[in-house]
């Protein structure tokens, strides 16, 4: 007999096992999948280009974000982390995929950008690696690839790492435009993320109800020749942690 459930983390790991049979955490399988995804850099994937998100640039240009320390979750090849560094931010960038981190580090060397890249699960990395507090936590496409139970881990990271008065910015699949609209329970009947989870604005507001909403809108379409990344099948959201 195996009666191992004692803590919330034990429950989360049990549910992880549904999505990654035989693995200790669902992230083990996810890391291998993303490594394969990033293996061919010549693929025509819009976010392979070294272009920052249009909403991130908009926040900076409008003065909604004061320069400080930033954490880029699921950074991929570092396109947003590099832009933040170029705008004077102190940046930590984390991703599960060694291939993505290697690509991001190459880009940083080419630009002489001081981004600290970390390979691993942001929810499991200790405070000696991702110490915070961060004035900005930026998540472009990580959140919608989490199984539902790992929202708990995501919120816990925001709670421990986001500075009072700091901002959390998000881009994720928009319901009706991209991503799976299955209810949460369905993902546990047949454990598969179906390419990522779609969200409605109301769902995002409920999940992040501990934060103050600054802006929530569809990402603007950017033409092929633009220096920015923009696809209208994504929501963009900016939230602020209360100062006290």
Give this prediction's pTM.
Answer: 0.95
- Give every CB contact of residue 68 below 8 A, 6+ residues apart in sequence: 89, 90, 134, 135, 136, 163, 166
The DSSP H or E segment spanning 164 is: strand 162-173
pLDDT at 2 over 60: yes
Structural domains in the chain, sorted by start:
48-240 (3.40.50.150)
Edge to edge, the sheet with strand 212-218 lists 115-119, 90-95, 69-73, 134-140, 162-173, 234-240, 212-218
The pLDDT confidence band at residue 129, using thresholds 50, 70 and 90, is: confident
pLDDT value at residue 4: 82
Q: Summarize pLDDT for 95-111 with one digit per residue, the tens.
A: 999 999 999 999 999 99
Question: Tokens 């690839």 sit at which residue?
Answer: 145
Mean pLDDT, rounded, of the chain: 93
The pLDDT confidence band at residue 1, using thresholds 50, 70 and 90, is: very low
Determine the Cα–Cα distance for residues 145 and 142; give it in Å rounded to an integer: 6
- Give every CB contact of residue 174 below 8 A, 6+ residues apart in sequence: 198, 199, 218, 232, 233, 234, 235
Angle at 196 between CA 98 and CA 235, to 5 degrees: 105
Q: Summarize pLDDT for 177-229 with one digit per residue, the tens.
A: 999 999 999 999 988 899 999 999 999 999 999 999 999 999 999 998 999 99
Dihedral of alpha carbons 154, 160, 161, 165, sign:
positive
């Amino acid at each position: 007999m195996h009666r191992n459930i004692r803590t919330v983390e034990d429950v989360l790991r049990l549910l992880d096992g549904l999505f990654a049979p035989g693995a200790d955490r669902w992230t083990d399988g996810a890391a291998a999948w993303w490594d394969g995804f990033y293996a061919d850099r010549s693929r025509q994937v819009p976010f392979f280009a070294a272009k920052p998100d249009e909403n991130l640039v908009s926040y900076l240009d409008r003065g909604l974000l004061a320069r400080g320390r930033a954490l880029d979750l699921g950074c991929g090849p570092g396109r947003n982390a590099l832009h933040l560094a170029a705008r004077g931010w102190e940046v930590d960038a984390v991703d599960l995929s060694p291939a993505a981190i290697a690509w991001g580090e190459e880009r940083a060397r080419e630009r002489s950008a001081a981004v600290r890249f970390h390979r691993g699960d942001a929810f499991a990395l200790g405070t000696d690696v991702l110490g915070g507090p961060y004035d900005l936590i930026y998540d472009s496409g990580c959140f919608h690839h989490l199984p539902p139970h790992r929202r708990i881990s995501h919120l816990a990271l925001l709670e421990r790492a986001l500075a009072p008065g700091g901002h959390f910015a998000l881009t994720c699949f928009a319901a009706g435009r991209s991503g799976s609209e299955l209810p949460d329970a369905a993902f546990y009947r047949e454990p598969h993320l179906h390419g990522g989870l779609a969200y409605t604005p109301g769902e995002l507001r409920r999940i992040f109800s501990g934060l103050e909403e600054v802006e929530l809108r569809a990402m603007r379409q950017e033409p092929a020749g633009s220096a920015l990344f923009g696809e209208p099948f994504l929501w963009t959201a900016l939230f602020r942690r209360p100062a006290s």
